[in-house]
Every structure is written in structure tokens, then in C-alpha cells.
Structure 1
């Protein structure tokens, strides 16, 4: 199997989790990993849709319920996990939705896109043997930083301000996770990816009819398909890349084309902010890093 002349490994005997695997980038990521021989656990909020998606995938799959907007669900999912986990693909997300709250009271985009995956990753980390891949977005560049004193954006909420902040949080999480893994002497890599401009149903949940119509036109005219959008995730998961690497399409300013290592904003390299975000995330979720530092 090849991907624009990049040879992909045989993942027979390996297990992967893909969150949000019932549609869009998630199901395409599942399809490619299963095609490489991996057993893929499709972690989905809607089990019926997950089973429909699994029926369309050739290879070994299993559907399990996971609601990243509910920390009790995250804990239950992780508690039931047994055995090694080669790849954890933090793919699920919500985009530019009207203001709302998760089951635990967090702003929904920050709570789902970042805090849910933060908790899931740390609760599963002792099982992970390969990589943690977190899907971000090129729109992280539009977030000047994390609004630490008001992460729920109370009184300041706009759908894209919240989305952009959550996607910056994904990259800062990856940066600090990699630092902690290295400090613990772990061979596991924390990496990230973005799909560029990919036509998926992620853009269809805006509360604005006009915005949905404009995005639909953009999807038809400019976007690459979901398969192409999933390739950077596969690249980050399987190619020889350094820790904290960030992959994305290499053409049209990072919006289309074959995957390669991608640039990120200065804010996404801020190690002080990454450390502060980690501490805040531990406080909000009650979940901590499970590995012991090798440096004492």
C-alpha cells in the first residue's frame, strides 16, 4: 500500500483507537489503518452510525461508545480497555457550533476537542506503545493564545473564537505531552496533524444557515475529499517523524495535496503556555499524567 510514493507499514497484530470514527476523517482514517492490517476500535458517540460505518470498512473493526463531552463516559471507556494500544488517534471534534456546554459544564468545543481527548489520552497512556496522534486545524493560527482566565469564553463567545482556541489547545497539548513522555523515558511519540481544507460533515453543524451554505459551496469548489484529508493523520501515525511533529497537506498554503511536515503558529510553540494548559486541564478533568519522570 502506498500514499504518494510513501510506503506504509504492515500493522498486523497492532491495535488502534480512532475517536469520531463513524464519519468523515474518522472513518477514512479507520479504513486506511484497517487496510494496513490493524485492528481498529471505532470510538463513537452514536453506536448505530458507528456500526454502519464499520460495515463499510474492510478489515477488523470494533465499535465502542465514547462521548468526549462527558468525562464519565471517557473514564468508563478507558477503564474497560485491556491490552496494548499501538495508536491512539484523537480525531473527533466539533466545529464552530452555537454556544453550549458539555455534560461537565465546559464550553463544548474546548471541552470536547481538548479536555475530552486530554482525559482519554492520560487514562489510556500506560497502554500505548506507539503514538498519540491529535488532529488539530490550520485555524489554530487565528487564536493568539489560550484565554486562561476565561477558557469558556463567557461573554466573548463566537463559534470560531472557540474552535480556534480548541485547535491551538490540541497543539499545545501535543507539545507538553511529548515533553513529559521524553522526561519519563517513554518511546511513545506525541504528534499532531491537520487535514487542510477537507469536505466532511464537520462544517455542517453551524447555527448559521448562510454560513452552512457558504461552506457547502467551498466544499464543492475548493476542498479535497475526506480520504485526502485523512492522509496527514496517517502520515503522522506511521512515518518517520520526530516527537511533537505536525503534519498537513503541502500545497495551496497547507490546504490541499500530499502530506508533509507542516508549520504552526508561534503561539503553538509556547512551552510556557503548554505547561500552563496542562496544569489547567488536570485541574478541570481530575486526570493526571500517569508516567513517572526518569529524571526524578
Structure 2
């Protein structure tokens, strides 16, 4: 049974955690800082980030990052590159879920633009700070939602013709996994010591579910203690992917309970669709075109 106590000593390591001022990101950053890592909270609201940092023990920094704006992503990456010669961990945690139809500042559907494209761009812009670092890792947080009405809709990626909150979330979380698998393939071909992994938190009691449809939100309200877990538990799969010495590239971690809803982290499997190499490569190409970010691998 893997718990927070299994996290190895993180002294001397630099970790960047997106969306770290609340929920899963907060617990991920808190645990890494408590183990000695220097942790950068990459957050949209700097003041809330500072308040979160004040509740943590250890060396904790705050960086402004708005994943809904490629200009902000580029600015944050430039700041981080200027401040840090090396990065040991990049944890792509931030996300939105089941939002009403809206777009990012660059015109992307909000869930796809934030959860996938923003992190795709950030990773590409920071990757050369990870590539020389032995043991460096990129962990991207997906969801059990990658199985629900999930496909990459290349004919309408931005859901311009019709919109489904559930379908758009499924597409974004499926994209997170496809990005991870294609990135790991490229890292391995490059001979880099960096590896890419994914994790999902099960069903955690966080602010993320505030936009959920009533059919989802009401059962969570009524049965929450039975079918959800606290953010500290939901963060464990991410922490294991980020720190377990035995973890390997392209592995996917989630809770060990029934339906992967709650429990302690273990290796889990993702949908057959997520392993379609042709779609992974096409998504990578489209993401490069949309963001203008190319990778050094």
C-alpha cells in the first residue's frame, strides 16, 4: 500500500506543479515540499498562490501561469527558464471540468485548450530544462473521464458545431494520455533520461466538479463520503508517478479501489483508444500547429 510516507527524499530537486493553489495540485505540491523539494506553484491567481504557499512547509515559490492564454504560457516559461537552470519534475495538474461552452483567449474550446493545449505548450517550452537531468519526469493528470464519450474530434476539435460538456472533457482527458504516450516515445527515441507518465485521482472531492451536470453533481452531494476521497488521497497517484523509483515511462497510475474511484495508487490501464499511435501522432502535429510550440525531441 503506497502512501505519502513512501515518497523518497526530494532534497535538491525542483518541481513545478500547475494549478497548485487548491485541491489536488495543492496536496501534490505540499507533499513534495515536505520531502525537501523546491516547489514552484504555477497558478493563475498569484495572491491565492501566495496564500497556498504560506500553508506549506519548505521552499515554495509562486509563478503566474494562465493556461487559457498562450501568451501567459510563454511568459511563464520564460520566467521559469530564467530562474532555473534545471527542472526535475513538471507536473501538469491544472484543469477545468464540464465547463459551459466558452473559449480560451486564443479561441480554443476551454477544456481542450486548458487541459491539453496549455500543458502541451508549457511542456514543450520547458523541456530542454528537463532533458539533461537524470531522473527527471513529466507527469500529466488525466481522468477516468477519458473513457466517457471520449474521442479526438479532428473534424471539430473546438466543438464549434455542437457542444457537449461531457464529450469535451472526455476529449481533453484522452488528449492528456495520448500526449503522454507520444511524448514518452519521443523521449525514448532521443535517448533522454526524462520520462513521461500519467496519473488520475479517481473521484476526489475538489472544486473541479463545480460545473458538473446535475446527474453527476447530485449523487456526489448525496453519497460524497462513500464514493469520493479527500484531495490528499487523490494526489497520491500523481505523487507516485512523480517519485516512485520503480516507475517507468508511459505508466499510468490511479486508485486501487473498485472502479478506480478511490484508494491507494497502483498501475492502471487506459482505454484502447488512448493507445492508437496514429491518432497520437496526428494529435501531436495538430497541437504543434495550434500552439506554435515545437519540442526538442
**Aligned equivalent of 2:222, options 207, 217, 230:** 217
- Give deviations 1:38-96, integer Å, cap 9, x for gaps: 00000000111111111111111001100000000000111122310000000000000
What residue is the counterpart of 2:31 in the other structure?
32
- Do the aligned residues in 2 keep the contact of 1:133 with 1:236 (CA within 8 Å)? yes
What residue is the counterpart of 1:108 in the other structure?
110
- For residues 257-272 of structure 1, the aligned pairs below 5 Å read 257-272=263-278
What residue is the counterpart of 1:96 in the other structure?
98
- Do the aligned residues in 2 keep the contact of 1:143 with 1:168 (CA within 8 Å)? no
- Do the aligned residues in 2 keep the contact of 1:250 with 1:260 (CA within 8 Å)? yes
What residue is the counterpart of 1:231 in the other structure?
236
- Do the aligned residues in 1 keep the contact of 2:46 with 2:64 (CA within 8 Å)? yes
Query: Kindly tell me: are residues 15 and 158 of structure 1, through their superposed partners in 2, closer, same or farther at Cα, counting changes over 3 Å?
Result: same
CA drift of 1:217 comes to 2.9
Aligned with 1:256: secondary structure? coil
- Give deviations 1:203-241, integer Å, cap 9, x for gaps: 1134x5675444333434320100000000001011112
Query: Kindly tell me: are residues 5 and 287 of structure 1, through their superposed partners in 2, closer, same or farther at Cα, counting changes over 3 Å?
Result: closer
What residue is the counterpart of 2:86 in the other structure?
84
> Aligned partners of 2:274, 2:56: CA distance in 1, in Å?
35
Aligned with 1:85: secondary structure? coil
> Aligned partners of 1:51, 1:25: CA distance in 2, in Å?
17
What residue is the counterpart of 1:294 in the other structure?
none
- For residues 216-295 of structure 1, the aligned pairs below 5 Å read 216-239=221-244, 240-291=246-297
Higher strand share: 1
- Do the aligned residues in 1 keep the contact of 2:150 with 2:167 (CA within 8 Å)? no
Aligned with 1:111: secondary structure? helix
Aligned with 1:117: secondary structure? helix
> Aligned partners of 1:223, 1:58: CA distance in 2, in Å?
27
Does 49-58 or 277-286 show the bigger shift?
A: 49-58
CA RMSD of aligned residues (A): 1.6
TM-score by length of 2: 0.93
CA drift of 1:200 comes to 0.5
What residue is the counterpart of 2:191 in the other structure?
185
TM-score by length of 1: 0.94
> Aligned partners of 1:121, 1:201: CA distance in 2, in Å?
25
- For residues 95-244 of structure 1, the aligned pairs below 5 Å read 95-128=97-130, 129=133, 130-206=136-212, 212-239=217-244, 240-244=246-250
Query: Kindly tell me: are residues 115 and 165 of structure 1, through their superposed partners in 2, closer, same or farther at Cα, counting changes over 3 Å?
Result: same
Structure 1 runs not aligned, ≥5 long: 292-296
- Do the aligned residues in 1 keep the contact of 2:24 with 2:206 (CA within 8 Å)? yes
> Aligned partners of 2:220, 2:160: CA distance in 1, in Å?
26
> Aligned partners of 2:96, 2:79: CA distance in 1, in Å?
25
Dislocated runs of 4+, deviation >6 Å: none
CA drift of 1:174 comes to 0.2
Aligned with 1:80: secondary structure? helix
